[in-house]
């Protein structure tokens, strides 16, 4: 998953903790192997390498694709799993130059979820288009693991996949889980503290990946409609919701609202925290 | 491009389909806590107190708390009068009966029994992301005492520095209807005297106002420190209507120091108190918890007090714990406290012989043992030994009082059992 992952188990039983950890790792690995676009031969690879052909989806993949479509509609096109191809021209590592408008224009015709065919648990991509579940995969994995563990195990468990977090329930002592939000300026140090009793939190944004172009600062989340990053984005957004998936979508959309991020988040009525 | 709609409802519905979750909100339950406390002073007061507490989450992070307490007290308590080499006779609080105290024994009022019922309600909710508000109401009733109180407090979290500030206020109104009516302060209680004993049949009142400021600071992942400052003003009838002050014979000779009269006490009409409290709590690497606190109190009755409390919770296997603790308390006497009065002196405007306002120290040693492993079901049992002592032979003692214990020790045993569960 390309980020540090951990499971915190509130129990004194070491054998149980090992069992729980194994269960969590098993499920995380299963999801990663199935939906990662870096692995050859898996379902996503098949979908992305069968231009013009229908690929059958199993029940789980079908649910994810259906969800991606619903998010695309709700976000008026801002959340789009076909926008991954923009990463070919955008690298936020400080070494690559900002792409030209012409380079962006060349890719735009191959972006847009409404261009792919999806019905009756089958998906067909036109030539040149790709899907990438990176925007929801990690949060989905957190929720799946949380659900699995909550049904089977009594202790309070916290699942943290690279900053996307959910809890199965409260700690034994009934105290809340305390989660420190990293200060973008001083990594490894918490700049603020969230207390969780239930639900999940997700963080979008990476303070270390951004571009300074002509004196303006752009976040690294790209707008699928323009092909460009959004000006005036917060450096990171953390959102709390009942599920990690919900929190992740709202956090991503908040980043795309640029300087209106806080206004957007207030309207959604979820607990949130913006770093600027 | 700005998104101007609220998406969370539809999004939540969509993700429920994705994750196979039920769309209804989780059922909320009542968190129930029950406790029974048994308190027994050697040869004196015994109390049994059952408590029922109920807590429910109304909305996200919003709680309703209810608590019912019953206190049942029996036994005898020191009346403030001094012992004598002779048998003494006293009136009961109602004035309708008398009781005798043997020679050389501390006079205890033996008709001390009462039941108190108390109900409190609390409503705790976040009003902004970093601001919580707590509103509470309290009502308490005893045979001769009724109290109602309301309180409000606000807690502000400044997330950036893991600091919480609290400000709170409490107002209490009490009605006191002593048995037989409140005695006229400083009047004599001698049952054989005439004119008749003066009593006031009206109910007496008092008001108490409290203000609290607090700061809690998280130091690191395993420790925190807390500071509170509180101010309190009590106004109205502050006397204990059943307490006496002995007036003793000051003439040198065989009767020196013998009580010649008993008068009812009188305290000032107001009492201003301020207190500073600090606490440090740390969880050690082996998950044991150490806690220490100190409180300093000061009031305009001349009482200064210090309290130090230390406890250490040892985490045992499988969710059991054992927690030993000690507490030390000392206070100076109120400026109007007297062991007794001399018949040659004028009676002061305010005077009390109530041992609770005298110079005293207490030590409490105890241990708590319990199981906190499962939030659905946890219990604990607490055993404590309490000792209170003061100056039994003050320099002011004269005549026969030199040989009497003018401030007997009070020893008490406390046993409490707690059980909490979800319903």
Write the DSSP string, B67-113.
EEEEEEEES-EE-SPPP-SS-EEEE-TTSS-EEEE-TTS--EETT--
Q: Is residue A45 part of a domain?
A: no
Are B160 and A267 a contacting pair at CB < 8 A? Answer: no
Residue in the block written with tokens 């059958």: A56
A34-54 tens-digit pLDDT:
988 888 888 999 999 999 999
Q: Is residue A223 part of a domain?
A: yes
The Cα of B7 is separated from the nearest Cα of chain A by a number of Å equal to: 6
* E-state strands within B241-359: 244-248, 259-264, 270-283, 289-299, 304-315, 320-331, 341-342
Q: Which residue of B has its CA nearest to A154?
A: B374
Q: Distance between CA B225 and CA A204 in Å, rounded?
A: 33
Under 8 Å between Cβ of B12 and A143 = no
The Cα of B122 is separated from the nearest Cα of chain A by a number of Å equal to: 19
- As a dihedral over the C-alpha atoms of residue B386, residue B391, residue B392, residue B397, rounded to 10 degrees, the angle is -160
Q: Is residue A261 part of a domain?
A: yes
- Interface residue B18 vs chain A (CB under 8 A): yes
Task: From chain A, pick out residues whose CB is under 8 angstroms from the CB of B20.
Answer: 147
Q: Is residue A209 part of a domain?
A: yes
- Poorest-pLDDT segment among A129-138, A218-227, B345-354, B385-394: A218-227
Are B17 and A75 a contacting pair at CB < 8 A? Answer: no
- Interface residue A246 vs chain B (CB under 8 A): yes
Q: Which residue of B has its CA nearest to A198?
A: B60
Q: Which residue of A has its CA nearest to B25?
A: A242
What per-residue confidence (pLDDT) applies to B197? 58
Determine the average pLDDT of the residues in A143-156: 88
Q: Is residue A66 part of a domain?
A: no
Calculate Rg over the CA atoms of chain B. Answer: 27
Task: From chain B, pick out residues whose CB is under 8 angstroms from the CB of A225.
Answer: 1
Quote the Cα angle for B195-B198-B199, to 5°: 155
Residues of chain B with pLDDT under 70: 1, 21-28, 60, 95, 111-113, 129, 159-161, 191-198, 374-375
Are A271 and B129 a contacting pair at CB < 8 A? Answer: yes
- Interface residue B222 vs chain A (CB under 8 A): no
Nearest Cα neighbor of A116 from A125, A108, A107 is: A125
Q: Which residue of A has its CA nearest to B62?
A: A197
- Interface residue A78 vs chain B (CB under 8 A): yes
Global model pTM greater than 0.80: no
Residue in the block written with tokens 């000690």: B326
pLDDT range class, residue A215, cuts 50, 70, 90: confident
- As a dihedral over the C-alpha atoms of residue B328, residue B332, residue B336, residue B338, rounded to 10 degrees, the angle is 80
What per-residue confidence (pLDDT) applies to B24? 45
Spell B178-204 as b/e; 16+ CB within 10 A means b: bebbbbebeebbbeeeeeebebeeebb
Are B11 and A140 a contacting pair at CB < 8 A? Answer: no
Calculate Rg over the CA atoms of chain A. Answer: 19
Are B373 and A174 a contacting pair at CB < 8 A? Answer: no
Are A267 and B6 a contacting pair at CB < 8 A? Answer: yes
Q: Is residue A270 part of a domain?
A: yes
- The SS3 call for residue B47 is strand
> What's the full length of chain B, in residues?
423
CATH code, domain carrying A257: 3.10.520.10
Q: Is residue A248 part of a domain?
A: yes
Sign, Cα dihedral of B77, B81, B85, B88:
negative
pLDDT range class, residue A216, cuts 50, 70, 90: confident
Q: Which of A170, A178, A192 sits opposite B375 (nearest CB)?
A: A170
Under 8 Å between Cβ of B295 and B274 = no
State the best of A240, A264, A265, A276 to mutate against chain B, taking most chain B CBs within 10 Å. A264
Q: Distance between CA B381 and CA B418 in Å, rounded?
A: 6
The Cα of A258 is separated from the nearest Cα of chain B by a number of Å equal to: 9
Are B14 and A74 a contacting pair at CB < 8 A? Answer: yes
Spell out the domains of chain B, with CATH numbers in brackets: 31-422 (2.40.160)
Check whether A91 has a pLDDT greater than 70.
yes
* E-state strands within B13-45: 30-41
pLDDT range class, residue A185, cuts 50, 70, 90: low
What per-residue confidence (pLDDT) applies to A106? 93
- Interface residue A147 vs chain B (CB under 8 A): yes
What per-residue confidence (pLDDT) applies to B375? 63
Q: Which of B7, B61, B374 sits opposite A268 (nearest CB)?
A: B7
The Cα of B283 is separated from the nearest Cα of chain A by a number of Å equal to: 13
Are B8 and A241 a contacting pair at CB < 8 A? Answer: yes
Q: Distance between CA B174 and CA B311 in Å, rounded?
A: 35
What per-residue confidence (pLDDT) applies to A208? 63
What per-residue confidence (pLDDT) applies to B25? 46
Per cent of chain A over pLDDT 90 is 41
Under 8 Å between Cβ of B313 and B321 = yes
What per-residue confidence (pLDDT) applies to A65? 92
Q: Distance between CA A143 and CA A164 in Å, rounded?
A: 10
Q: Is residue A168 part of a domain?
A: no
Query: Domain tally for chain A?
Result: 1
Task: For residue B31, give both structure tokens.
Answer: 């968190």
Task: From chain A, pick out residues whose CB is under 8 angstroms from the CB of B162.
Answer: 193
Q: Which of A67, A253, A270 sits opposite B3 (nearest CB)?
A: A253
Range of the domain at A209: 176-276
Q: Which residue of B has its CA nearest to A193?
A: B159
- Interface residue A236 vs chain B (CB under 8 A): no
If you count residue pairs, one on A and one on B, with CB atoms under 8 Å apart, how many are there?
98
């Amino acid at each position: 998953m390309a980020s540090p992952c951990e499971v915190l188990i509130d129990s004194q039983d070491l054998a149980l903790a090992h069992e729980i950890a194994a269960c969590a790792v098993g499920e995380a690995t299963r999801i990663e192997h199935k939906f990662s676009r870096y692995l050859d031969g898996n379902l996503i690879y098949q979908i992305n390498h069968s231009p013009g052909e229908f690929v059958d989806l199993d029940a789980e993949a079908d649910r994810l694709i259906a969800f991606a479509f619903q998010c695309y509609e709700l976000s008026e096109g801002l959340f789009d799993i076909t926008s991954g191809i923009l990463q070919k021209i955008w690298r936020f590592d400080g070494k690559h130059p900002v792409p030209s408008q012409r380079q962006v224009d060349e890719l735009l015709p191959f972006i847009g979820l409404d261009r792919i065919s999806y019905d009756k648990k089958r998906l067909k991509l036109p030539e040149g288009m790709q899907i990438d579940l990176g925007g929801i995969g990690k949060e989905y994995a957190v929720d799946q693991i949380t659900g699995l563990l909550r049904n089977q195990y009594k202790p309070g468990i916290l699942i943290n996949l690279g900053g996307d977090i959910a809890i199965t329930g409260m700690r034994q002592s009934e105290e809340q889980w305390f989660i420190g939000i990293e200060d973008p300026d001083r990594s490894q140090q918490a700049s603020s503290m969230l207390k969780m009793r239930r639900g999940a939190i997700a963080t979008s944004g990476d303070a270390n990946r951004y571009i300074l172009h002509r004196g303006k600062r752009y976040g690294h989340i790209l707008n699928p409609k323009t092909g460009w990053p959004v000006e005036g984005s917060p450096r990171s957004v953390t959102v709390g919701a009942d599920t990690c998936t919900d929190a992740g979508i709202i956090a991503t959309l908040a980043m795309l609202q640029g300087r209106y991020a806080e206004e957007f988040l207030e309207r959604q009525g979820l607990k949130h925290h913006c770093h600027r | 491009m700005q998104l101007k709609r609220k998406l969370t409802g539809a999004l939540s519905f969509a993700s429920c389909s994705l994750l196979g979750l039920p769309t209804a909100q989780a059922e909320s339950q009542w968190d129930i806590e029950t406790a029974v406390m048994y308190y027994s002073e050697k040869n004196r007061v015994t109390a049994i107190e059952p408590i029922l507490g109920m807590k429910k989450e109304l909305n996200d992070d919003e709680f309703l708390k209810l608590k019912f307490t019953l206190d049942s007290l029996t036994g005898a308590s020191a009346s403030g009068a001094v012992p004598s080499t002779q048998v003494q006779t006293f009136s009961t609080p109602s004035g309708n009966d008398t009781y005798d105290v043997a020679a050389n024994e501390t006079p205890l009022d033996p008709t001390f029994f009462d039941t108190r019922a108390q109900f409190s309600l609390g409503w705790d909710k976040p009003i902004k992301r970093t601001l919580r508000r707590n509103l509470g109401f309290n009502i308490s009733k005893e045979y001769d005492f009724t109290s109602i109180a309301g309180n409000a407090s606000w807690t502000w979290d400044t997330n950036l520095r893991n600091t919480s500030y609290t400000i709170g206020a409490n107002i209490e109104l009490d009605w006191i209807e002593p048995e037989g009516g409140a005695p006229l302060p400083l009047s004599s209680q001698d049952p054989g005297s005439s004119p008749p004993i003066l009593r006031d049949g009206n109910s007496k009142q008092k008001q108490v106002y409290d203000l609290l400021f607090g700061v809690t600071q998280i130091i690191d992942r395993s420790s925190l420190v807390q500071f509170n400052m509180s101010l309190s003003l009590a106004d109205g009838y502050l006397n204990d209507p059943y307490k006496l002050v002995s007036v003793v014979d000051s003439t040198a000779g065989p009767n020196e120091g013998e009580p010649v009269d008993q008068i009812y006490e009188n305290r000032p009409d107001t009492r201003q108190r301020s207190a500073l409290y600090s606490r440090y709590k740390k969880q050690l690497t082996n998950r044991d918890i150490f806690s220490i606190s100190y409180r300093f109190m000061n009031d305009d009755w001349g009482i200064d007090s210090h309290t130090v409390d230390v406890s250490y919770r040892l985490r045992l296997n499988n969710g059991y714990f054992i927690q030993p603790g000690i507490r030390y308390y000392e206070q100076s006497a109120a400026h109007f406290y007297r062991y007794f009065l001399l018949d040659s002196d004028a009676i002061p405007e305010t005077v009390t012989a109530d041992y609770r306002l005298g110079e005293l120290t207490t030590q409490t040693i105890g241990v708590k043992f319990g199981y906190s492993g499962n939030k659905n079901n946890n219990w604990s049992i607490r055993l404590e030994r309490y000792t209170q002592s003061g100056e039994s032979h003050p320099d002011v003692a004269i005549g026969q009082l030199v040989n009497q214990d003018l401030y007997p020790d009070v020893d008490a045993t406390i046993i409490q059992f707690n059980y909490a569960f979800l319903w």
